[in-house]
Structure formats: structure tokens, C-alpha cells
Amino acid sequence: MDTTHQSLHADVLVIGFGKGGKTVASTMGGLGKRVVLVERSERMYGGTCPNVGCVPSKALVHHSRKGRPEDVPQEWYERSVGEVQALTKLFRGVSYDVLNDMDTVTVITGAAAFTDPHTVSVETGDGHLTVTAETILINTGSEPIVLDIPGLRTSQYTVTSRELIDTTILPGRLAIIGGGYLGLEFASIYGQFGSQVTVLEAAPKIFRLVDDDVAAVAEGILVDEGIELIVGANITEIRDGETSATVVYEKDGQQHTLEADAILAATGRAPATGDLALDAAGVRTTERVAVEVDEHLRTSQPHIFALGDVNGGPQFTYISLDDSRIVLDQLIGEGKRSTADRVAIPHTLFITPPLATVGLTEKEARAAGHRVKIASQPVAEILPMPRSYIVEETRGVMKFVIDADTDEILGAALLSVEAQELINTVALAMRHGVTAAELRDTVYNHPTSTEAFNGVLATIVRADT
């Protein structure tokens, strides 16, 4: 539509089409409230997850494991990217239609910036639009961090995760800067497609969120698949050549070089607040440029909320969804729900097999003063879990950290087939005080991966006295 000099008033204005914002928009629109949702890019309807995050990356994890011996790597990769792009396009269209088809919701594509606490100016392809609202939600997500390493930002071979999964050319040699969730997932994906992958991590170890025994198993799986992991690497320079780049790094006091056809910057994401003119709205930000919020996700302006990555909380889609529950409870509920209600939140690193965690590690539990007992077993040795042999994925380990006095589960690390599903059962048990013995002796369907709990939790390998 022609938006030149138009003005709109809404009960609720949502800036950004992320999971939390679109959920609030749909709910409030369904209640008859006038909702306006502004999204900068037509490629981001639905937010990061279905477009450039969880959906395409996890779809590539799936496709990377479907290769046949006769497949030519480049053709296999190009075909996979095409199928993934078709999937994200489908999800994007559904996200847009669900909201735009509501009589009470207007979706606008354009760049929004505050002009005062209740007003934003939106620059669209057709002109200028002013939107005022009683309640405003900031849901603009985050953007990749590209470190200020000499030559990195200007190199023609540097890519973000979004740019990498958009290309149909499989890099022969892929250097990944950063050994966190993103870097390791992409290392696993592209290594399986056939790239020669090197992960460069500045810290002295990777898999820092798990105990050393679990980390050793996970590292072994990646190394066995041909991925080179270099820790303690201080990258000093990127030099572009005619057909590739040279990555210069220091390790143990010596200088090394690495040739790469593509360099993935995987050193985290920062809240996307730079273009919102938050000062004009009187909205405060933190030192890390996140929108400052309280436990109810209200900003320094009580009628303005911030949801998802932009508020500086954990950068997960399911956290953004929970943010929407908190905000909706403020808008139409009792106003009691808060971020303090979140306990036993699970996380999954989608290497193959996936590594899922929840709660405390053994090291953290002991540091917190708990007397602990440990149940740990390699997946290949868990007899009640034939599922791992059925699907031909017996790599990995399961480890539980248990309070020796109460038998309550303090934490778990599951490196196994279907760990991303199993961890939700463990998290639910932890939230409701289900003991390790109860989880051990529960009747599970057969043959399933969940049956592993019958075996692992029967094996206490170490207990405090």
C-alpha cells in the first residue's frame, strides 16, 4: 500500500516479527485489539528461527546425514540448500498469512525508529508512515558479531551463518572462528557435507558448558569425523588472495597460517537496537546494547516491553516464546509471571548426535556445596536402550548429577541420539521434584531412547560420602 504521510494508531505496536512478538500480536489481535506489526525485511517474517536460525540450520543437519556414497558433494549440498530454502519460504509465508489475514492486525514492512515514547516513524518502500500506540513491544532480535580482527570484516571470504546457508557453493575448506553452539553445529554440518573444517577457538577448551568427561566424548566424535579443533588460537589477521583467504593465528607463542575458501564468523550475536532511536523514547539500554528490562520485561518506559534476544536474555526461540507469556500476563492476565519463574531450562547443541544439557554440571554442583552422586554410562553400553542400535547411532554418553541427600536431579548432560527430546523429560522431572529413583523406575514405551533412564540411573558410578 502507499504509506506516504499515512498515520496509524494501534492498541499494540510490535517492532520485529520474532517468536515472542508475533505470539503477542496474534493473541491480542484475536481479542479484538488493534495491532500493528512492523518488520524491516520481508525475508524475516516469522523471525530468526524459521528463516536464518533454527529451522534452516537443523534442516541442514538432517540433510547432511542423508548422503549416499555415489553423491557428488557439491551437487548434494546444492540440492539440500534448495530444499531448505523451500522450507523456510513456506514457513515465512505461513507466519505472514496467519497475522496478515486477521482483520485486527496490520503487517508493515519497513524500518521503524522511535520519535517519542508512544510513536515510531516507519520508512517503507512506498514512503513514510507514523504509528502511535498505547503499548509497544520491541522484538527486533539480534545480529551476528563479526570481531574487529584486521582484514576479517573486509574479506570477501568472510560470511555470517545466514550468508553461508544462503550460498549453494560448498566451501572446500571452511574456517570457523568461534567454538560455541553456532560454530560447532556448522562444523558438524559442513564436515559431513564434505568440507575440510577447522574450528579456531580463543578459549583453552570447547564444550565449556559440560564437565570434562562429557566434553572429551563430544570432542572425540567431532575429531573422528575429520573436524580439526584448535583451541587457544588468537587470530591476528585475515589476508585475501585471488581464490582463498589466509587466516593468521597465534597459538602457544607461535604463529600459524590456515588457508580457507570461506571464513564463518561464529562469535556470538548482539541485540539489534542500533537503528531504533531508543533515546527518543526514553528507553534505556545496558552496556551490551540490550534493551534494559525488569523481571516482567518492562523497559524504563512502563508501556514498552522488550522480548527475545533484544532484551539481553538467553538467545533461544523458546525463551522468546516464554517472554510472550510474561508480557501477555501483564497485558491481560494477573501480572504474576516473571523471568524468575524459569527453572531447569534445557539447551541442545545440534551436533550429531546432539548434546543436550539442563541444570548444574558436576563441577558446578560441588562448588555450590551439594553432596552429589553421579550416574554416567556410554550410550553403547546402555542395555535397556536398543533404540540406539536400531537407528545405528551408539556414540555418546549420558551423565546425571544427583543430590546425594534428596535424590533430586541437579543436572544432566545427554550426548545421544534424540537427546534433544530426552532432555525435556529430565527438565520436567527437575521442575517438579521427581527423584532420580522415580525417573529410573518409570515404565517407558519400547523401544525408545527414553528407556536409557532405566539403565543409566541404575548405575551410580561415584557417590560422596
Residues labelled catalytic:
446
Please give the grid coordinates belonging to residue 119.
510513536
| Integer Cα distance of 124 and 126 in angstroms | 5
Residue 368's alpha-carbon distances to 358, 365, 372, in angstroms, are: 16, 5, 11
**Looking up cell 551423565, which residue turns up?**
399
Alpha helix (H) ranges present in 249-380?
Answer: 278-281, 317-332, 362-367
Sequence-separated (6 or more) residues with CB below 8 Å from residue 302: none
Neighbours of 282 (CB within 10 A): 13
CB distance 188 to 61 below 8 Å: yes
**Looking up cell 543409566, which residue turns up?**
456
| Integer Cα distance of 229 and 240 in angstroms | 23
| Integer Cα distance of 463 and 433 in angstroms | 20
∠20-22-28 over CA atoms, to 5°? 105
User: Is the bond into 447 cis (omega within 30 degrees of 0)?
Assistant: yes
CB distance 162 to 250 below 8 Å: no
Please give the grid coordinates belonging to residue 218.
563430544
As a residue count, the chain comes to 465
Cα dihedral across residues 158, 162, 163, 169: positive or negative:
positive
Question: Mapped to the 3 state alphabet, what secondary structure does 8-37 carry?
Answer: EEEEEEEECCCHHHHHHHHHHHHCCCCEEE
